[in-house]
Structure 1
Amino acid sequence: MRIATSSSSHANADIAVQEISEEIFRSFAAPDLVLAYYTETQDVNTLMSALTSTFPHAQIVGCSSCQGTMTDKGYLSGHTLSVLAIKDPQGTYGSAVVELDASIDVHTQAQEVLRTALDNSGRPGELPALITLHTTPGLEEVVLHAIRSELGVNIPIIGGTAADNAIAGSWSLFDNDTITDNGISMTVFFPTARISYAFHSGYAATGKSAVATRVAGRTLLELDGKPAALVYADWYREETGLVIDNNALFAESTLFPLGRQTGEIHSMPYYTLSHPAVVSKDNGIEMFSTIQEGETVHLMSGTTEMLVSRAGRVVDSANEHDSLKRTPIGGIAIYCAGCMLHVKDALHDVAANMSLSMHEAPFICPFTFGEQGQFLGGEIAHGNLMISAVLFHKDEL
């Protein structure tokens, strides 16, 4: 298994793909899988056409990223395209994208995407070593449940929700045949390299908590029977000494999200985070992930310094998860767009930390509106303000 990455900021999508292919081809020809992450300013139709014609034997996966991308070469801001290519003649890969049909439930369509990806890999009926998942916003928990129901076991997943530059619906997904702004993308991996993974928040619980007593979809309406936004505002003021600006909730809540305990390792709890986005008209809080009624919700806290350093720490954790401590030959990471926007001036440091932890192996990282991964305790989850990482290791199966 061999991995290469490349990026381009050229305004013309055809030329951008040409520049990328020239660099990839210096490492190897005819990749088996191409992962492409790009900003909303790209001409997605041209991008898909150029990638499929340039890499005719590859499974192609495309997902939009917020305001830039990151690779082992560093952070690229603005109009950009970044690609990770895998050459693995003894391995197999399959991808699929569906544009959602409103007349069919999402769970059923998600299972069909998975089956199509498995068919495209030539390994139907087998359990993949890894699944990469990308959806458009709002579908994540249903899709994760559908994958678990279809396979019967938890398979390592790394995923990120398609993003745009300003939460305005300009996100997209594509594969070799389909482009959509309302859909599901999956890729199954049967690689000849071993994988390790990690999924972390890096935030700490403050000790403040309440039970979600009323929820409507992704809007948290009440905590302990009181309007959720008022409870959150009280918690925020007690922690910071400041009055939160409800018109800037998304930005101001980045260091103080809500969390639900997902499990614990060595008596240390770990959490899945939810990012408060908007105060609803009835003083509820609209989120980027779903909190269930009856769940205990914790106020979490983090620091800007933690958001800069933790990407490298998550990669370190994934390395430690590999029992033989083999040197990675490459990897995929997912970094929350909300965190990215908060530390934007330090993203070159984030990229450098990741590259150091990756032993300077090639990696790719989009900035997403939700993150999916597998905790070391085995749980598969969708959260916000998280980072997910998967590493490929040089010892072959």
Structure 2
Amino acid sequence: MRIRTMQAVGGDPEESVAELHRAFRSEDQRRPDFLALHFAVGTDAVGLHNAAIDKFGDGALHGGSSCLGIMTETGANIETGAAVGGLAIWDADGSYGTGSAELGNNAFKAAQQATEAAIVAAQRIGEVPDLVWLTVAPGREEQVVDGIRSVIGPSALIVGGSSADNDVSGQWAQFGPSQIHGDGVVVSALFPSTPGSSFYQSGYAPTGDSGRVTRVSGRRLFEIDGQPAAEVYHRWTGGSVSMANAEPLSILAETALCPLGRITREIAGVPFHLLAHPAVAYPDGSLDLFADLNHGDQIWQMQGSADSLVTRAGRIARQAREDAGGAISGALIVYCGGCMLAMRGRMDEVRSSIVDALGEVPWLGVFTFGEQGVPPGGAASHGNLMISCTAFGK
């Protein structure tokens, strides 16, 4: 297995793909067996897809938009809002396939269809991939994860992130070999010839405040302990998060370091919290989140810091590398877009922490509006403000 990453400033999709193509051709004259393209929405997704098909063919091509840009081992590229990053894998002894589908009115079924198409494209029908790399439009990620698991089993390694734009205006995009989507799911089934490892965690810890969900509808949280959710949350955060007046109020930036969390399991007596990021406060006291909650869930006020978000990325990357045997070919990093926006001025420190952990290997990092991965001791889940590192062994 060989892995190469490359980034382009972006803007012109044909020039960006041509730049990536020249770099990858200098590595290997063959087309990559797998190509992940992640990009900021300042580069047109349709043009990028068409140019990629022209240069690389319609094999295992996986595309998804990323908040403001991308990062690789050479730097974070978030200044123009149009950057493009690529990770190419050459692995003649492995198998790779990508499928995609519109979510439509049945996200579960769409995920099934995309997963089945990816396995067929990999020519490994009836087998379980070692890894599923996932890109999905924000909104129904839990249903998508369930759909994928229904095809490949409950213990499958599903890793990825929800596509993003630069300002939460809904301009995100996804594409597979044959289709471009605005509200779709892209699934890549990876059967690499080398072992790998993936870690999925957050950089947050619980405070002493906790309550029970007493009224919720999907991602709209109305009440905690029988009281308006926004009032409780405002109190828990010491008044640092605003409440809506006459109009709905975006609180996405204010809440990046103080999300809500629920315990999904305990490992050696230490609880693992899956996070939900509050995005909008409403005049009626309800909150919109980027993840589902259920009636009766016990939720905690969580707290993070800029320093914890710098160091956590490196710690997770180090765990993935060590678990993969120490020597790796490369990695895929998922770093929450909300965390990136909160850490925008310190992203080079984040990149450096990952480089220190992984060594001199190629890796591609994407900034997402929701993260999917497998928590320690658990099954594939969707959460917010999470970080993952998936390392490919040598």
Fold equivalence (TM over 0.5):
yes
1:1-397 equivalent positions in 2, closer than 5 A:
1-29=1-29, 30-56=31-57, 58-77=59-78, 78=80, 79-102=82-105, 105-237=106-238, 242-246=239-243, 247=249, 249-322=251-324, 325-394=325-394
- The amino acid across from 2:180 in the alignment is I
**How many residue pairs get matched?**
386
Say which SS state the counterpart of residue 364 (structure 1) adopts. strand
- The amino acid across from 2:3 in the alignment is I
Range that drifts further, 49-58 or 360-369:
49-58
- The amino acid across from 1:244 in the alignment is V
Say which SS state the counterpart of residue 300 (structure 2) adopts. strand
Alignment partner, residue 246 of structure 2: none
Separation in 2, partners of 1:244, 1:315: 31
CA contact (8 A) 2:154 2:379 kept: no
- The amino acid across from 2:327 in the alignment is T
Separation in 1, partners of 2:96, 2:41: 26
CA contact (8 A) 1:84 1:363 kept: yes
- The amino acid across from 1:220 in the alignment is L
Separation in 2, partners of 1:305, 1:243: 19
Per-residue deviation at 1:248? 5.3
Say which SS state the counterpart of residue 188 (structure 2) adopts. strand
Q: CA RMSD in A?
A: 1.3
CA contact (8 A) 1:7 1:82 kept: yes
Say which SS state the counterpart of residue 251 (structure 2) adopts. helix
State the 4+ residue runs in structure 1 displaced beyond 3 angstroms.
none
Say which SS state the counterpart of residue 110 (structure 2) adopts. helix
Separation in 1, partners of 2:156, 2:102: 24
Per-residue deviation at 1:10? 4.2
- State the identity as a percent: 36
Consecutive unaligned residues in structure 1, runs of 5 or more: none
Per-residue deviation at 1:326? 2.5
TM-score normalised by the chain length of structure 2: 0.95
- The amino acid across from 1:340 in the alignment is M
Separation in 2, partners of 1:352, 1:52: 33
Structure 1 residues 57, 135: closer, same or farther in 2, change over 3 A?
A: closer
CA contact (8 A) 1:330 1:391 kept: yes
CA contact (8 A) 2:156 2:379 kept: no
Separation in 2, partners of 1:22, 1:304: 37
Say which SS state the counterpart of residue 197 (structure 2) adopts. strand
Say which SS state the counterpart of residue 252 (structure 1) adopts. coil
CA contact (8 A) 1:133 1:160 kept: yes
Separation in 1, partners of 2:385, 2:343: 12
Per-residue deviation at 1:384? 0.6
CA contact (8 A) 1:31 1:57 kept: no
CA contact (8 A) 1:32 1:57 kept: no
- The amino acid across from 2:262 in the alignment is R
Structure 1 residues 174, 8: closer, same or farther in 2, change over 3 A?
A: same
- The amino acid across from 2:337 in the alignment is A
